[in-house]
Amino acid sequence: MRAASPLNTPSASHEETACAGPDANERFNTSALYESMVRLRLCEKRCHDLFLENLVKGTSHLALGQEAIAAGFAGSMRPDDYTFCTYRGHHHTLARGASMKSVLGELMGRECGLLGGKGGSMHLTSVQHGVMGSYAIVGAHLPIAVGAAWSAQYRGTGQVAVAFFGDGTTNIGAFHEALNLAAVWKLPVVFVCENNLYMEYTAIRDVTAVANPAADRASAYGLKRRLVDGNDVEAVATIAAEALAEARSGAGPALIECLTYRHGGHSRADPAKYRPAAEVQAWLLRDPLVLYRQRLLDRGIEESALQSIDAAAAHEVEVASEEARSSPAAAVELAFRDLWADGSIEWRT
């Protein structure tokens, strides 16, 4: 077993944590942040259960353990801001407001699915909620978010595009091209690295020239170094609000590295045995949901208030899951539609 390095210990993740002062209950919509994280957690767990029942096919990449990033950002974004996420995107899609039924339905290939079963787990998209797509090719969506930001700048709408990606993305060329162009054109785009310390099955530190794969590269694009505890939802919400406001004001892009940890493997195929047990244990103690629950209790929030949020989320998952399960299978006709804007798939006369 590999000894845990400073990078891989949770203590390294406190570099720029926002302080939770006594007025924190007023500064943050605490119950909304907590509720969002509980919903994401329970829905992701249900995804996992549905795999085990063989109702979700193919693959899936769960965000268990990374909920604070989705909740913190979504809580700070304007409804018309754009989210671009990766194949690990269930949490962002839900956090922006897509219903659990539409997400679970998509995973199960149901008619009620967000994409009518044509996209699946890795491509969740809900334009009406600002979720402009989940992208399954590492790094692809960073330039696309740049384009959406360019469009927002051109149209003068004040919208901001937010691209979420993993630590592994920082080593692919699209990362560099997107960051450079966004900085040169001063575009309203926020790049958010969810550094969960592993690019698929390999420790990111073993394949990266710098310790903090996103933050340490910010200076290359003339951007401020931003590193935050990605398991502290208020810290995330704080830095998100700051970066979004800057981007909206015309100050240009931001690059934020959120340190976090996935509770499970890269995908359903991965038992994640490459991670040292002590490291896993240390991070599980810093479960973002457990941490936040305790913080709220310490601040005097009633246990019963949190319990009722927990119960409501559990009920929502149960109902959504049952409704999605009983929704008809996506119609086969959909496979032969909508390649082109006219709805057809014709390529010849």
Partner 1 sequence: MANLSYRDAVSAAIAQEMARDNRVVLLGEDVAAAGGVFKATVGLFEQFGPTRVRDTPISELAILGAAMGAAMTGLRPVVEIMFSDFLACCWDYVANEIPKTRYMTNGQQTLPLVIRTANGGGVRFGAQHSQSVENWAMAIPGLKVVAPSCASDAKGLLAAAIRDPDPVLFFEHKALYSTKEDVPDGEHVEPLGRARVLKRGKDATIAALAAMVPRAVEAATLLERDYAISTSVIDLRCLVPLDMTTVTADVRRTGRLFTVEENPRLCGWGAEVASLVMEECFFDLEQPVIRITSPHIPLPAADQLEDAVLPSVQKIVDTVSRAMAPAHRAA
Pick between residue 8 and residue 125 the one whose CB is nearest to partner 1: 125
Closest approach, Cβ 69 to partner 1, in A, equals: 21
The site string for partner 1 over 128-147 (x = CB under 8 A, - otherwise) reads: ----xx-x-x--xxxxxxxx
Closest approach of Cβ 119 to partner 1, in Å? 5
Using CB under 8 A, which of 150, 171, 200, 291 touches partner 1?
150
**325 neighbors 109 (Cβ within 8 angstroms):** no
Read out DSSP for 48-96? HHHHHTT-S-S-----TT-HHHHHHHHTTS-TT-EEEEESS-HHHHHHT
Backbone angles phi, psi at 5, to 5 degrees: -85, 165
H helix or E strand, kind and range, residue 24 = helix 24-27
Q: Which residue, 98 or 259, has its beta carbon nearer to partner 1? A: 98
Between the alpha carbon of residue 104 and those of residues 49, 188, 237, the distances in Å are: 11, 32, 26
Site string for partner 1, 169-188 (x = CB under 8 A): ----xx--xx-xx--xx---
By CB under 8 A, the count of residues binding partner 1 is 52
Q: 48 or 118, CB closer to partner 1?
A: 118
Give how far the C-alpha of residue 44 lies from the chain's centroid of Cα atoms, to the nearest Å.
12
d(CA 338, CA 218): 40
Q: Which two tokens stand for residue 216?
A: 């340490």
177 C-beta neighbours (distance < 10 Å), count:
14
Name which of residues 25 to 84 contact partner 1 (CB under 8 A).
Answer: 82, 84
Q: Does an H or E element contain 145, and which?
A: helix 141-155
Q: Give the residue, chosen from 6, 53, 154, 304, that forms a contact with partner 1 under the rule CB under 8 A.
A: 154
Q: From CA 95, how far away is CA 241, in angstroms rounded?
A: 16
Instruction: Provide, rounded to whole angstroms, the least separation between the CB of residue 125 and partner 1.
Output: 5
For the bound state, the minimum distance from the C-beta of residue 146 to partner 1, rounded and expressed in Å, comes to 5
From residue 319 to residue 348, the character string flagging contacts with partner 1 as x (rule: CB under 8 A) and all else as - is ---------------x--xxxxxxx-xxxx
Q: Which is nearer to partner 1, 49 or 338 (CB)?
A: 338
> Contact residues for partner 1 (CB under 8 A)?
82, 84, 114-116, 118-119, 123, 125-127, 132-133, 135, 137, 140-152, 154-155, 161, 173-174, 177-178, 180-181, 184-185, 334, 337-343, 345-349
